[in-house]
A = this chain, B = another copy of it.
C-alpha cells in the first residue's frame, strides 16, 4: 500500500526550513500559516516557494492535502492513513488514528478502484463550547 517514492529533491535552505516547520506539525496549516511561520526564520521566503515546495512534497508522497476547509487548502504532514475531527467554529482539525471497517456497497456503479478513504467528524470542540460567543452563529459547515 505504501506508494512512498524516493525523496530525491534539491535540498535548498528554503525547502529545509519549510520541511522543518511541517515535521511533526499537528495543526494542519494553510499555505498562509506556513508562509507566516517560515518567514520569521527565512525572511526572503516567497509565497511561490511555499506553494512550489508543498507541491513537490505532495508529489513525493510526503504531504497530504486536505480540502476540508472552505476556500483554502490545508496541509497535513502526517501521511499515515488517518481521519479527522473538525470544529466547525474555530476550524481546528484533530487527527483520529482509529481504523474503521468501511466497505463500499456492491454494485456496478460502484466499480471504482479505491485509493483512499477519509472520515470527517464535524462538531464543536470543547474550547468553543465554553466560550460566550458560542451561540452567536455557527456558519458554514
Interface residues of A (CB under 8 A from B): 58, 65, 67-70, 73, 85, 87-88, 94, 96, 98, 100, 102, 104-105, 108-126, 129, 140-141
Contact = CB atoms under 8 A, between A and B. Distances in A.
B109 A98 contact: no
Task: Specify how many copies of this chain sit in the oligomer.
Answer: 2
| Chain A interface mostly | mixed
A112 B124 contact: yes
A73 B111 CA distance: 26
Contacts of A105: 96, 98
Given A112-B125, A124-B112, A124-B113, A119 B102 contact: yes
A125 B109 CA distance: 9
